[in-house]
Amino acid sequence: MTSAEAARGLFVTFEGGDGAGKTTQAALLQEWLEASGRSVVRTREPGGTEVGVLVRDIVLHHRGEVAPRAEALLYAADRAHHVETVVRPALARGDVVIQDRYLDSSVAYQGAGRVLGPREVRDLSLWATGGLLPDVTVLLDLDPATARSRLDADDKPFDRLESEKSAFHERVRAEFLALAGAEPERFLVLDASRPVDELATIVRERVAASLAR
């Protein structure tokens, strides 16, 4: 690895519905990159900072209603702080940032799922982050019914978003796919029902190609 390569950061995000396997694939990518000698920062939204942990508790575990616009603003506030204090500094150091969820989740969940308007929610997040977009976004696409069965098998309480009805999750999935169709150069869309190792190999190939540019 040359010094120029070491100085070039890369921002990789994982998106998709709950139960699609984002955490598993992020961990496998981190393991491979670190074995290759890359410095990696693995994080998530919400919850990647101390502020984010507080926001996560509100938006996912608060007992009672959170108004949809308030929810969108809370996610955006967390994202602004997270990008400023974690993501941009890591990229400036030349690290690879692997992140579970970013602005595309807000566009899908709040913009489409909550019917607040995808464009408005995207604009809010772009303002909050100073326009920062990932270099690679891996979308793990999975039928909501299959995802629900995976979550049921985990035998854990559902959070506020996981508890939404099937129509909500269908809107979320459709918006994720629309986002990927609009930005094919950034998105890698994968069938999340495929074997874990197969998916990991495809993700590694895409990330390796991006690092080589």
Greater confidence (123 vs 165) lies with 123
The mean pLDDT value for 104-124 works out to 95
Listed by start position, the domains of the chain span 3-211
The per-residue pLDDT for 3 is 38
Handedness of CA 103, 77, 65, 150 (dihedral sign): positive
Find out whether the peptide bond into 157 is cis, omega within 30 degrees of 0: no
The per-residue pLDDT for 163 is 63
Contacts of 103 by beta carbon, 8 Å cutoff, 6+ apart? 79, 122, 125, 126, 129, 133
Written as one letter, the residue type at 124 is L
Given a contact cutoff of 8 angstroms between Cβ atoms, the answer to whether 134 and 85 are in contact is no
The per-residue pLDDT for 66 is 84
The mean pLDDT value for 113-122 works out to 95
Among 89-98, 109-118, 156-165, which stretch is predicted with the lowest mean pLDDT?
156-165
Q: Report pLDDT digits (tens) over 137-171.
A: 999 999 988 877 776 666 666 655 666 678 889 99
The per-residue pLDDT for 5 is 40
Q: What are phi and psi of 15, to 5 degrees?
A: -130, 165
Beta bridge partners of 92: none
Q: Does domain 3-211 have CATH number 3.40.50.300?
A: yes
Distance CA(135)–CA(163), nearest Å, equals 31
The per-residue pLDDT for 61 is 74
